[in-house]
């Protein structure tokens, strides 16, 4: 049992990832304001990126940049460096998350111009009255 407790404490990154994911999911589901929902979506995406960067970290390793690279060829021990592959993939994920955020904010601005409010329940009420008056 103490070994299990030690393992759970040593993986604190993943507990923080779970907390941030649940914060983002709560904001997307339970908040009424559209901007708050979009902030929750961004928090969720950042939590996923933090999960992948936590996978790539390694104790007693340096960042994945080769020192003295211009001094000719000498052997590179891959165990001395962190894993650079998740970092490269997460650069793409950050750019995609910014594109998603831009589209979501543009849709929120159009919804405000149509309904003159950002609250979801008021928008649903307006749509209901519009549907019943037809």
Partner 1 sequence: MIWQFDLIILTLVVISGIASISIRDLLGASVLFGAYSFLMCLAWAVMGAVDVAFTEASVGAGVCTVFFVAAVFRTSRRSKD
Instruction: Choose the stretch contacting partner 1; rule: CB under 8 A; options: 69-77, 89-97, 123-131.
Output: 89-97
Quick one: which of 25, 48, 53, 126 contacts partner 1 (CB under 8 A)? 53
Contact between residue 23 and residue 41 where contact means Cβ atoms under 8 Å apart: no
Instruction: Choose the stretch contacting partner 1; rule: CB under 8 A; options: 68-76, 106-114, 126-134.
Output: 106-114
We find the least distance from the C-beta atom of residue 7 to partner 1, in angstroms, to be: 15
CA distance 83 to 134: 60
Q: At what angle do helices 85-115 and 120-132 cross, to 10 degrees?
A: 50
69 near partner 1, rule: CB under 8 A: no
100 near partner 1, rule: CB under 8 A: no
- For residue 38, what are the contacts with CB-CB under 8 A and spacing of at least 6? 101, 104, 105, 108
Per-residue contact string for residues 3-42; x = within reach of partner 1 by CB under 8 A: ---------xx--x--xx--xx-xx---xxx-xx--xx-x
We find the least distance from the C-beta atom of residue 72 to partner 1, in angstroms, to be: 25
We find the least distance from the C-beta atom of residue 79 to partner 1, in angstroms, to be: 14
CA distance 25 to 47: 11
Three-class secondary structure assignment of 46-60 = HHHHHHHHHHHCCCC
109 near partner 1, rule: CB under 8 A: yes
Which residue lies nearer to partner 1 by CB, 53 or 126? 53
β-pair partners for 62: 81
């Amino acid at each position: 049992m103490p070994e299990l407790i030690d393992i759970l404490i040593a993986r604190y990154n993943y507990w923080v990832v779970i907390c941030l994911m649940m914060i983002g999911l709560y904001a997307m589901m339970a908040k009424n304001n559209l901007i708050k929902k979009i902030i929750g979506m961004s928090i969720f995406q950042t939590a996923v990126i933090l999960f992948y960067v936590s996978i790539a970290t390694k104790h007693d390793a340096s960042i994945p940049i080769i020192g003295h690279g211009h001094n000719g060829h000498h052997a590179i021990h891959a165990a001395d460096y962190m894993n650079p592959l998740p970092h490269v993939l997460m650069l793409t994920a950050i750019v995609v998350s910014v594109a998603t955020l831009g589209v979501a904010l543009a849709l929120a601005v159009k919804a405000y111009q149509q309904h003159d409010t950002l609250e979801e329940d008021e928008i649903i009420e307006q749509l209901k009255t519009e549907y019943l008056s037809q």
